[in-house]
Structure 1
Amino acid sequence: MSTTTTAVERYEPALTETEQTTLLGFLAGYRGFTRDAYTLDLRQYTAWCWQHHHRLFDMRRVDIECFARDLEDRGRARATVARRLCTIVGFYQYAEEEGVIEHSPAVHIRRPRIDYESHVAHLDRNELGAILVTAGLSSPRDHALVSLLALNGLRVSETIGANIEALGLERGHRTLTVVRKGGKVVTMPLAPRVARAVDLAIGERSDGPIFIEPDGRRVDRHAAGRIVRRIARRAGITKRVGPHTLRHAFITAALDAGVPLRDVQEAASHADPRTTMRYDRGRQSLDRHATYIVATFIAGAAR
């Protein structure tokens, strides 16, 4: 039985056949971690409706607003509330398109204002370098894992999901093809130091996961988190560091190094450039203000 079906059937006694079919149909349009996240959102929303004696397709805008306020009262972050509401909006839009309901009650739902400033622990250039040096003194697997996170900016799911068969050579570049968020397949270059670390990690193996446990199982996200935290401690980093911290450090370092925002957005696989801008610590710097460039540009034309 699929994860999606199991998640929905948890509340099967409270669901009509139409509700269950519509939920499954909506979730079937997604896969991977996106579907898992939407499944969790709808499971909690369905449970809330059940507890408050509401049917999914009898919900009004005010009822959905009450669900959002309940999440806030329970201390959920604004980003979490916004994501859950986004899922609900998508679900009712799907139901409307399929003719299950005449009008979506979630069209004009107010969503919390999201703080676009990243609050992930920041690693400066020296700290990131120390982590990479320490990783190089660890096992080949751990070194390769940290290298892909820190020097390619991969998400942890993309890193541990990578397979040996996805390694390649393209116009002189060592490459790795990964499935990114939303199911997008992307081929990216590997810096020579990263390629060497990956080669050492896979050894004589010719297929299967790049990152495996001693018993041959694929490394999961929890194990990857433990690896990163252990290496950060050994490097003398006292901040709270996880796999996403290394991805954060990659994006910040790219922006600090002067890589154009559009190129960093592409490398990070961000759909919205505002997400990438959250990592730009120098965007408030007066030294980079456009007025200096514009003034120089116009002065050159006026001569």
Structure 2
Amino acid sequence: MPDATLLPIVPRDDLWLFFESFLMRWEGSNTQASYRQDLMIFTQWCEQYGLHPIADIKRTHLELYMRYLKDDRKNAPSTISHRIGTLSQMYELAIDDELIAKNPARLVRRPKAHVDQGRRVALTREETQRLVRAAYDSSPTDHALIVLMAYLGLRVSEACELDIADCLHVAKAHRCLRFVGKGDKLALIPQPPAVMRAIDAAIAGRTEGPLLLRRDGSRMTRRSADRVVKRCAKAVGITGNISPHVLRHGFIVGSIDAGVPIRQVQLSARHSDITTTIKIYDRGRANLDTHSAHALAAWLGSVA
């Protein structure tokens, strides 16, 4: 371990050069934007107390910072944990660059985000069908957007960034979507007939450009996609916190309910780790009809 007294200190004016070198690992992604915001909030907090965000920070400072996030910014436990995680990754890079001797975030006790087992993480099959119908009645673009997320599990950013050329790739006798997804990973997704028809209707004879267009002819954005989902949901009486990501949840939960093996669901959802599929989606289903309590109660019998 290097001697802490001999470690260089990044001048305050050069801090963001170091931060940007850290953020380059997620260039152009939503993750990069989220991490940049985390670093900005932390840097502003450090300035209030005259602390250098790298050289001066100890574990106790980060624990005080978590209290600030909780009490002053009213951040949820999951947000606090995420922001400390960003700092931990940044400090690991600082260690590698020999700017600090150890990671002050390593032993910080982050708050746990508890999963509400009763919270709905996806639409039901019947609700999804109603939503798709409402999108079909709205416009070919709205229909294609909903189908891409609900039937193929695309993230909203992935759907909005698709070009026409990305939708016409043929592999192993399947027409597929071929694009670069989260984590700069190449995705190849087959198009079932219902999806193919929706995409062709959205293309409408065009040969190039974005697949999904707004009314002014520009590429659809995440915000406009969110409005489409909410408008179509409202049109068929679907209430609650409905967002584009609920449709991706529905793709995963529906695949599990349809009997697809969990390993195949993981691959189809493009999760790097199967525990993500199990922990977030399978557990979040909270299928009370198949709870083991029913089987055990029947096995034990009743005294009354």
Write the mapping of 1:226-265 to structure 2, written as runs, cut at 5 A.
226-265=227-266
Residue in 2 aligned with 1:146?
146
1:131 equivalent to 2:138? Answer no
Q: Is the 8 A contact 1:270 1:276 kept in 2?
A: yes
- For 1:60, the equivalent position in structure 2 comes to 58
Shift of 1:117: 4.8
Identical residues among aligned pairs (%)? 38
- Pair 1:279–1:288, CA change in 2 (3 A): farther
CA distance in 2 between counterparts of 1:19 and 1:289 reads 58
Q: Is residue 28 of structure 1 aligned with residue 24 of structure 2? A: yes
Larger deviation, residues 33-42 vs 98-107: 98-107
> 8 Å contact 2:214–2:220 — kept in the other structure?
yes
Match of 1:166 in 2: 166
Cα deviation for residue 214 of structure 1 reads 2.8
Secondary structure in structure 2 of the residue aligned to 1:29: helix
- Specify the alignment match of 2:273 in structure 1: 272
Supply the distance in 2 between the matched residues of 1:192 and 1:211 (Cα, whole angstroms).
19
The equivalent residue for 1:100 is 99
**Aligned 1:166-185 pairs, distance under 5 A:** 166-167=166-167, 168-185=169-186
| Structure 2 counterpart SS, 1:58 | coil
Cross-structure match for 1:109: 108
Alpha-carbon offset, residue 282 of structure 1: 5.2
Q: Distance in 2 between matches of 1:225 and 1:18?
A: 38
**Preserved CA contact (<8 Å) 1:153 1:246:** yes
Cα distance 1:20–1:238, how it changes in 2: closer, same or farther (>3 A)?
closer
Long gaps (5+) in structure 2: 1-10, 297-304
SS in 2 for 1:48: helix
> TM-score if structure 2 supplies the norm length?
0.85
Rounded to whole Å, the distance in 1 between the matches of 2:78 and 2:164 is 35
- Displacement of 1:253: 0.7
Q: C-alpha separation between the residues in 1 aligned to 2:180 and 2:112?
A: 30
Q: For 1:114 and 1:219, how far apart are their aligned partners in 2?
A: 33
Q: Letter of the aligned partner of 2:65 in structure 1?
A: F
Q: Quote the Cα distance in structure 2 between the aligned partners of 1:257 and 1:30.
A: 34
Count residues with an aligned counterpart: 278
Match of 1:49 in 2: 46
- Aligned in 2, Cα 1:131/1:49: closer, same or farther, shift over 3 Å? same
Q: For residues 79 and 100 of structure 1, what CA distance do their matches in structure 2 show?
A: 29
The aligned amino acid for 1:222 is R
TM-score (norm 1): 0.85
User: Which moves more between the two structures, 185-194 or 175-184?
Assistant: 175-184
Tell me the distance in 1 between the aligned counterparts of 2:100 and 2:121. 45
Alpha-carbon offset, residue 254 of structure 1 = 0.7
Query: What is the Cα deviation at residue 120 of structure 1?
Result: 5.1
Q: Distance in 1 between matches of 2:67 and 2:207?
A: 52
Q: Map of 1:70-109 to 2, 5 A cutoff? A: 70-73=68-71, 74-109=73-108
**CA displacement at 1:18 relative to structure 2:** 4.1
Report if the CA contact (8 A) 1:92-1:104 is conserved: yes
**Judging changes above 3 Å, is the alpha-carbon distance between structure 1 residues 194 and 63 closer, same or farther for their aligned structure 2 residues?**
same
Distance 1:72 1:270 in 2: 30
Q: Which residue identity is paired with 2:23?
A: L
Q: What is the CA-CA distance between 1:235 and the residue it aligns to? A: 1.6
User: Are the aligned partners of 1:256 and 1:282 in contact in 2 as well (CA < 8 Å)?
Assistant: no
Determine if contact 1:34/1:181 at 8 Å carries over to the other structure: no
Match of 1:271, SS state, is: coil
Give, in whole Å, the separation in 2 of the partners of 1:107 and 1:289: 43
Task: Provide the alpha-carbon RMSD of the alignment.
Answer: 2.3
| 1:217 equivalent in structure 2 | 218
State the shift of 1:142 in Å: 0.4
Q: Could you tell me which residue of structure 2 aligns to residue 19 of structure 1? A: 15
Paired AA for residue 207 in structure 1 = E
